[in-house]
Amino acid sequence: MAYFPTSSSAAGVVGELLMASLAQNTFLWRTSPIGTELETVVVSWLRQALGLPDAFDGLFTDTASIGSLIGLAAAREAAGLDAAKRGLPGRPEVGQPRVYASAEAHSSIDKACMILGLGRDALVHIPTDNEYRMRVDALEAAIAEDLAAGRRPIAIVATIGTTASTAADPIAEIASVARRHDLWLHVDAAYAGVVALLPERRAEFAGWEIADSIIVNPHKWLFTPFDASLFLGRRMAEVRAAFSLVPEYLRTLDRSAPVRDVSEYTPQLGRRFRALKLWVLLRWFGLAGLRRRIAHHVDQAQELASWVDADPDFERLAPVPFSVVCLRWRPAALADRATEPDVAAFLDARNQALLDAVNRTGEVLLSHARLGGRFAIRVAFGNLRTEERHQRRVWELLRREAAKIVS
Ligand SMILES: *Cc1c(COP(=O)(O)O)cnc(C)c1O
């Protein structure tokens, strides 16, 4: 229940076994025709299951961090920087590129800026509202300020399911800002993207279908053993421009059939046959089976949230749109004084001690976050084997250890 759940399943393990047995390396079509072709098929199945239009194509990477790097590298090319060929140093005409993401965005976005030569300073962290979603007015103001100062906006990163509280940025509004300013829109839905498999939840994703690139991690909440991340892009030509480099020894001499060599779209050359693992997974669970389980995890989180809400000595520190609950112990007697500095410090210290005490039981492992300056205990659902008794037990332990801390 810490961080995000370890996402594994028997189907995923069988997939890994088959991958290792077949020992395919999918970097060129000719090194693994089946690996390349099956990747196209499985990416398309997932794309359709997520409700995204067929303008999106994609590929599997090891992690979301690499997927976001690919998205932002393509954004850099799309903005006309021609950095893949010419680099950035010593080119005053490049100006100061800018990327925008919320203050709650994942650190992999900062790292992508580091690796791409834009630097962490190029990433503008936009403040969030009191539910930890990007403030679109602040985004517009930041873009306007940068334009006025002669800087060069190139991309916006919207997050659906932030790491601390799992907030979803207002994607439709952000998409329209991106369109208006002709900026690349990258959607980091590494954790929560799988919720779009549920047709009844699609409305919350409206707007992501016009993104330029999207990341969803099967290894986070789709029962896939580490590693597999899905990159979806609407402008694969720009992705190719960012990464294609074909030395003689990788050249396919007989080009009579039009084929795709996936390594032209990624930083690395050698690639695992991850499509096989996802193929087994989809065939095993079926879409209905995956949907049922994801909906169940959302229900588990909602139920825990309702217990927290009903307890006068605990409080929830963020909405629960997906499968993570952020809570803290806050005795009723202190409710009105919780923001006084002494009381705030006291609550932080006690909740840190509470987290430690609960983890020391050895029965569960929870993690933490800081939300609005407050120490929050995070309880994450999403493991296939988490049953109602575990859900009840974690709540019992939190209350039991909280009672001990007070006395
Ligand atoms: C977990 C997470 C990442 C990083 O995922 P990796 O696959 O471990 O690189 C990025 N963004 C968000 C929103 C995440 O939840």
The count of residues in the chain is 407
> Cα(395)–Cα(173) distance, rounded to whole angstroms?
37
Number of H helices and E strands in the chain, helices first, is 12, 11
318-360 pLDDT, tens per residue? 999 999 999 999 999 999 999 999 999 999 999 999 999 999 9
Mean pLDDT of 384-388: 94
Write down the CATH number for the domain with range 25-272.
Answer: 3.40.640.10
pLDDT at 251 (0 to 100): 87
Task: Compute the distance from residue 326 Cα to the ligand 1 centre, in Å.
Answer: 18
User: What residue spans in the chain does CATH classification 3.90.1150.10 cover?
Assistant: 287-406
200-224 pLDDT, tens per residue? 999 999 999 999 999 999 999 999 9
Task: Compute the distance from residue 342 Cα to the ligand 1 centre, in Å.
Answer: 35
Mutate to test the pocket of ligand 1, among 65, 213, 378 (most ligand atoms within 8 A of CB): 65
pLDDT band, residue 407 (cuts 50/70/90): low
pLDDT of residue 364 exceeding 90: yes
pLDDT at 259 (0 to 100): 83
pLDDT at 405 (0 to 100): 84
H-run or E-run covering 188? strand 184-188
126-177 pLDDT, tens per residue? 999 999 999 999 999 999 999 999 999 999 999 999 999 999 999 999 999 9
Q: Calculate the alpha carbon distances from 338 to 328, 331, 347, 350, 404 in Å.
A: 12, 9, 8, 13, 20
- What mean pLDDT is reported for the chain? 96
Locate all alpha helices (DSSP H) within 133-212, ordered by sequence: 136-148, 171-180
User: What residue spans in the chain does CATH classification 3.40.640.10 cover?
Assistant: 25-272
Mutate to test the pocket of ligand 1, among 61, 69, 108, 224 (most ligand atoms within 8 A of CB): 108
pLDDT band, residue 256 (cuts 50/70/90): confident
- The residues facing 128 across adjacent strands are 134
Strands 152-159 and 184-188, bridge-based pairing: parallel
Mean pLDDT of 285-309: 98
Write down the CATH number for the domain with range 287-406.
Answer: 3.90.1150.10
What is the token pair recorded at 320? Answer: 């629960």
Mutate to test the pocket of ligand 1, among 106, 186, 194, 226 (most ligand atoms within 8 A of CB): 106
Task: Compute the distance from residue 15 Cα to the ligand 1 centre, in Å.
Answer: 22
pLDDT of residue 257 exceeding 80: no
